[in-house]
Amino acid sequence: MFGNSRPFFALVGMSLASGNGMLTNDDQLEGVCWEIKEAVGRVQKNLIIAERLNLNSSLGLKQFELGSVVAKGNNAVVYEARKIEEVKDHSDLKLKQESSIKSFPLAIKMMFNYDAESNAMSILRAMSRETVPSRCIQHSSSRIDQQWLIGYEQNLSTLPPHPNIVVMHLCFADYVPELMDSHLLYPQALPTRINPEGYGRNMSLFLVMKRYDMSLKHFLSKTTTLKTRDRILLLAQLLEGVTHMSKQNVAHRDLKTDNVLLDISEGNDVCPALAITDFGCCLADKDNGLNLPYKTADTDRGGNVALMAPEVVCARPGTFGCIDYSKADAWAVGAMAYEIFSGSNPFYSYERGKPPLLRNISYKEDDLPELGNEVPLIIRTLIQSLLHRSTSMRLDASFAATVCQIYLWAPSSWYTKCVMPTSNEVLQWMLCLTTKVLCEGGSLMSIANTKQRTSTEYQLITTFLHRAKLYEIKNALYWMQSIQQE
């Protein structure tokens, strides 16, 4: 299946099936876990390569055809797009007018630039956080620009590709074009050469991304019959995305259902694939990691004040002040989980002039509303643990994601009974999942055609196996068993 992985897994499988076999201590079993991560990592890499855009070194806005507006916010507008060479018949007006993901598979986000000078270096410097998940940054080939880019990359953390992070193919600076409806939708963001009353600069940043179907907020607002299992799948994907960010020392700081995109290409009867987007407020500092020096009140603490974790919103500036963001995104996921499972976020105000049920600055854990009994006890407790005010008591995203994955794929007897599975039994389960992923989910084509599981499920299992460690799984099982015993 993948070079040396096949005989290795055959040997380990036979060893485990024959009893105690030759693998006896946890060190050897952790070694097998490492091999599993390496093998599944190649599946992950193949999936990422399969969705890459065919790039060249001189891409600019002129190489793309823009369609209609997909979304608009205060800081940017998003257009559906496609590479010009993808349009085979330019005389086909029906194709040109068709607004669908098949005909426009990309989305281009144009940032509104009011302050940065109209050159690539200044624009990248001013909007660097937007480029954190980008796989390629187009820039001038001059020696000065290349030297500046090296320094730029040294200070900014970047996000390697991940299934639950937006697919951002590349970013580049280019001249702001005059597009249909631009005078109506964002007149003030236009430069004076287009709109004499505009305040925008001539150039801005453009982000080329995969086009998704809708936001999580839109999906939840129009979906009333979503199964509980599918809601858990959405939560697990969200936690896996935050886990990936945390491991790369990136904090999103603006997580909300508007900033989570869904791919529903598999159909309405299965759980959609989820990706986190909009990194304009993120913390991605290689020097300080997830700890932000907070010396003055002018320091940017991120966006979406309603979903700021208590340690962020209650922080006070000082000479030695510092904000720890290591579990801040996990807290926001806990708040968003209420929207996923109940349709209502207790930290939001849904009526003008009416305060929210809870405020992040003052709520107590006992004030959190109860979720319905249709939500499993372990998941209810997990959500409440993510919303713990104390960071020492709060679960981190990795642990919470592992709990969700175990709940979805492991034998229920492991967490409903008091008997802990042995390390060999846990490893056998992981090898079974690995075999299914390698045999049935080894490519996008086979995932799409298989009937056993959906591609979202296979991708979620692959993500779990790619980071799983034996001791973390056993710790999560201990936690799940303790919930059942209370």
Mean pLDDT for the chain overall: 85
Average pLDDT, integer, range 315-321 = 93
> Are 290 and 324 in contact, with CB atoms under 8 Å apart?
yes
Look at 86-100, 184-198, 345-359 and tell me which has the smallest mean pLDDT.
Answer: 86-100
Beta partners for residue 283, in sequence order: 251
Question: Could you tell me the pLDDT band of residue 95, with boundaries at 50, 70 and 90?
Answer: very low
HEC per residue, 50-81: HCCCCCCCCCCHHHEEEEEEEEECCCEEEEEE
Backbone angles phi, psi at 129, to 5 degrees: -65, -30
Residue pLDDT, tens place only, 55-89: 555 578 988 999 999 999 999 999 999 988 755 55
Would you state the structure tokens that stand for residue 143, as one six-digit string? Answer: 């020696």
Active-site option among 254, 263, 278, 285:
254
- More confident: 389 or 92: 389
Within 8 A by CB and 6+ apart from 362, the residues are none
| Phi–psi pair at 337, nearest 5 degrees | -60, -30
The token pair that represents 468 in the structure block: 């799983």
- Cβ distance 459 to 22 under 8 Å? no
- Return the domain boundaries, the chain: 5-50+404-485, 61-211, 215-395
Give the mean model confidence (pLDDT) for residues 284-305.
92
List the one residue out of 357, 405, 344, 340 whose CA is nearest residue 378.
405
Per-residue confidence (pLDDT) for residue 48, from 0 to 100? 58
Residue pair 162/276 in contact (Cβ under 8 Å)? The answer is no
Which region among 27-41, 120-134, 288-302, 426-440 has the lowest average model confidence (pLDDT)?
27-41
- Check residue 465 and give its pLDDT: 92
Q: Do domains 61-211 and 215-395 have the same CATH topology?
A: no
Arithmetic mean of pLDDT, 434-444: 67
The pTM assigned to this predicted structure is 0.88
Regarding the domain delimited by 215-395, which CATH topology (the fold level of the hierarchy) does it fall under?
Answer: Transferase(Phosphotransferase); domain 1 (1.10.510)
- Do 271 and 234 contact (CB within 8 A), yes or no? yes
CATH class of 61-211: alpha beta
CA dihedral over 169, 166, 329, 303, signed as positive or negative: positive
On the CB side of 19, CA atoms within 13 Å amount to 0
Q: For the chain, how big is the Rg over CA atoms in Å?
A: 24
pLDDT at 5 over 80: no
pLDDT of residue 402: 97
Are 270 and 258 in contact, with CB atoms under 8 Å apart?
no
Tell me if residue 254 is catalytic.
yes
Comparing 40-49, 199-208, 235-244, 252-261, the range with the smallest average pLDDT is 40-49
What sign has the CA pseudo-torsion 11, 12, 18, 22?
A: positive
Give Cα separations from 216 to 3, 201, 234, 241, 261 (angstroms): 39, 32, 9, 14, 6
pLDDT band at 131 (very low <50, low <70, confident <90, very high): very high
Q: What is the mean pLDDT of residues 138-152?
A: 55
8 Å CB contact between 40 and 466: yes
